[in-house]
Amino acid sequence: MLASKRILLIIGGGIAAYKSLDLIRRLRERGAEVTVVLTKAAEEFVTPLSVSALAGTKVYRDLFDLTDEAEMGHIQLSRSADLVVVAPATADLMGKMASGLANDLASTLLMATDTPVLLAPAMNVRMWQHPATQRNRATLAADGIAFFGPNDGDMACGEYGPGRMSEPLEILAAVEAHFAEGPLRGKRILVTSGPTHEPIDPVRYIANRSSGAQGTAVARALAELGAHVIFVTGPADVPPPAGVEVVPVQSAREMADAVQAALPVDGGVFAAAVADWRVVSASDRKLKKSKDGLPVLELAENPDILKTVSRMEQGRPGLVVGFAAETNDVIENATAKRLRKGCDWIVANDVSPATGIMGGAENAVILISDAGAEEWPRMSKSDVAAQLADRIAAKMSG
């Protein structure tokens, strides 16, 4: 699948560097030629010998290695790849890239390259969440640098949260998606999916019956057409599709943050059944029955993610598609919803229990745009997704 593709892999200095050894192996298994650059800090985590044994080639380490300059200058090295992958991309490397510093081989190559660059960040949670890192991420994304991850999880430093480098198979999927043929190749598309869980206390939450099946099918169909899909999913019943960047969330507010972090994108499909309300002050202890009466749950409205993105004044995605879950007057309600939210298209469906759509395998949708309402016959959710992805591809490439 990656036969004869030339990948320049830059390994930064972080504990996740050990995963990059597996990444080299998997890239080569698929036929890619992998050239590796190690930063000085990376050499504290993996050895040049193990890297070159796996890559089957010389490892590049130093900007001022004259032999390399004679054989292959750093400019040539940066241009002789089809894709540059930085994994792990440390806070330091991201900072250098965002501010245009070039004081070692890795940062110089990243400045000199005219090849697409994919970053797989890895760092401590606080470092990832630090405003400086988030500023750098936004700057780099606006410069056209693609990001994959980081994932949530337990970290080597003992903390939990976003900052773990994506797994080698996930990065491999992103690399394959980059080279995938298809009308959406090179497009970055955000898909929200699934329900959200709004905590009441540590063991209870408010939720809805969404299984995540339709959003998952849309993400899969878009990836099959070559898109880089960022899949922001609540706790769904179905597993996420392969070949997409998965961002798992629980609550509506987490989903809103994850969507903001994924911007800018070329398109967005908002298939999630976001809970409209959350409990104002979720208890950090399990609520107990009491003789004093029933607990009173004060609710607050959640941010409207679709509306926020649709109404962005700067950097609005070129195509924003919402879903409308209705139980009555479907076309009328969904038409009004499209205007209220400001999205381009809305995919309306009747989720009354009798239709069996919410949680079921089939869907009957009406696509509403400024051209009017178009009723599609009832079909499987994957067929709805495939047709919708085709329409999105036609619109985005037209």
CB of 322 to ligand CTP, least distance (A): 3
Decide whether 52 or 250 has the Cβ nearer to ligand CTP. Answer: 250
Scan residues 139-198 and list those touching ligand CTP (CB under 6 A): 192
Choose which of 84, 173, 325, 396 interacts with ligand CTP (CB under 6 A).
325
| Amino acid (one-letter) located at 321 | V
Decide whether 302 or 382 has the Cβ nearer to ligand CTP. Answer: 302
Stretch that binds ligand CTP, among 7-15, 35-43, 124-132, 322-330 (CB under 6 A): 322-330
Counted residue by residue, the chain has a size of 398
CB of 302 to ligand CTP, least distance (A): 5
**CB of 81 within 8 A of CB of 7?**
yes
Give 74-79's long-range contacts (Cβ < 8 A, gap of 24+).
Answer: 74/105, 74/108, 74/109, 74/112, 75/112, 77/8, 77/35, 77/37, 77/109, 78/8, 78/108, 78/109, 78/110, 78/112, 78/113, 78/114, 78/115, 79/112, 79/113, 79/114, 79/115
Q: Based on the residue annotation, tell me whether 343 is a catalytic residue of this protein.
A: no
Stretch that binds ligand CTP, among 11-19, 25-33, 100-108, 303-311 (CB under 6 A): 303-311
242-281 footprint of ligand CTP as x/- string (CB under 6 A) = ----------x-----------------x-x-x-x-----
CB of 323 to ligand CTP, least distance (A): 4
Decide whether 42 or 325 has the Cβ nearer to ligand CTP. Answer: 325
Tell me the site size for ligand CTP, rule CB under 6 A.
15
CB of 252 to ligand CTP, least distance (A): 5
**In angstroms, rounded to a whole number, what is the distance separating the alpha carbons of residues 189 and 177?**
12
Residue 213: exposed, middle, or buried by beta-carbon count in 10 A (0-12, 13-18, 19+)? buried
Decide whether 172 or 206 has the Cβ nearer to ligand CTP. Answer: 206
Scan residues 337-366 and list those touching ligand CTP (CB under 6 A): 337
| Amino acid (one-letter) located at 60 | Y
Interface with ligand CTP includes 227 (CB under 6 A)? no
Choose which of 175, 323, 330, 335 interacts with ligand CTP (CB under 6 A).
323
Token pair 């599709």 in the structure block, residue: 241
Interface with ligand CTP includes 302 (CB under 6 A)? yes
Decide whether 121 or 248 has the Cβ nearer to ligand CTP. Answer: 248
Interface with ligand CTP includes 77 (CB under 6 A)? no
Token pair 């992998």 in the structure block, residue: 34
CB of 209 to ligand CTP, least distance (A): 12
**CB of 321 within 8 A of CB of 392?**
yes
Checking DSSP bridges between strand 83-89 and strand 365-369, what pairing results, if any?
A: unpaired
Please state the three-class secondary structure of 271-290 as a single string. CCECCCEEECCCCCCCCCCC
**In angstroms, rounded to a whole number, what is the distance separating the alpha carbons of residues 245 and 243?**
7
Interface with ligand CTP includes 322 (CB under 6 A)? yes
Encoded tokens for 265: 């994108």
CB of 325 to ligand CTP, least distance (A): 4
What are residue 37's DSSP bridge partners? 10, 60
Identify the active-site residue in 53, 157, 242, 312.
157
DSSP assignment of 52-64 equals HHHHTSPEE--TT
Interface with ligand CTP includes 128 (CB under 6 A)? no
CB of 154 to ligand CTP, least distance (A): 30
**In angstroms, rounded to a whole number, what is the distance separating the alpha carbons of residues 93 and 86?**
9
Tell me which residues touch ligand CTP (CB under 6 A).
Answer: 192, 252, 270, 272, 274, 276, 302, 304-306, 322-325, 337
Active centre residues (catalytic):
157
